[in-house]
Amino acid sequence: MLKKFINSATFELPAFEADPESDLLLFDKPYRCTSFDIVGKVRRIVQRQAGKKVKVGHAGTLDPLATGLLIICIGKMTKQIDSIQAQEKEYTGTFMMGSTTPSFDLEHPVDHEYPYTHITRELAEEAARSFIGNIEQVPPMFSAVKFSGKRAYELAREGEEAALTSKNITIYDFELTRFELPEIDFRIRCSKGTYIRSIARDFGKALQSGAHLTALRRTHIGNYHVKDAIKPILL
């Protein structure tokens, strides 16, 4: 098991310019790096350049195992975080069919295996279409959702179960871009609050099997695109 990602990716940020009073920067978050790793380094650089304390925050976290677009707001732009987070998002990634993990991704090892050879592309595409629209989704246990004053992932790591309630989300597009069992690649465009890890869980169940994420990348938030983002340098 990857140990809570305390030993996360080591990286440096290339030179960039930012207005400490009000600015917005796009970053392409690397694998195993946390969103707060990026925020911390940006804050230190901007504060050093400005010679004073500067408010810095991100507009929508990414799991350590996810890569892609992370929007960093500086100074007065931090007041726009909620409105940026509310914009639709696009993700690409890979489902591994026939097995599940407690976290629905690679943070934990496989806990159950299921048959998957009965799945055809037609069945998978039909299942994907069933997710499009307004749906109810239960967040993963290994998530930052609060339950009884604690984060769900804290309870999960203590071996406790939280009775998380479902939330209404919207899936605008759910396209299967590669079908090579046991792997299925996808592109999903969705609303704020959508957990792609939960879609992996529910997609597996819809196909009378199991599934977990082996790759996830955020490509868009509204009109912001990862192709325009600053790429940290992995060391």
Percent of the chain with pLDDT over 70: 86
pTM, two decimals, is 0.89
Q: Is 111 a catalytic residue?
A: no
How does the average pLDDT of the chain come out, rounded? 89
Tens digit of each residue's pLDDT (9 = 90 or more) over 189-207: 999 999 999 999 999 999 9
Catalytic residue among 23, 28, 37, 63: 63
Distance CA 29, CA 8 (A): 12
Tens digit of each residue's pLDDT (9 = 90 or more) over 22-67: 999 999 999 999 899 999 999 999 999 999 999 999 999 898 899 9
Residues 6+ positions from 27 with CB-CB distance below 8 Å? 13, 38, 42, 69, 70, 71, 72, 229, 230, 231, 232
Query: Quick one: pLDDT at residue 156?
Result: 44
DSSP labels, 75-138:
EGGGGGHHHHHTS-EEEEEEEEETEE-TTSSTTS---EE---TT--HHHHHHHHHTT-EEEEEP
Q: What angle do CA 12, 18, 23 make, to 5 degrees?
A: 120
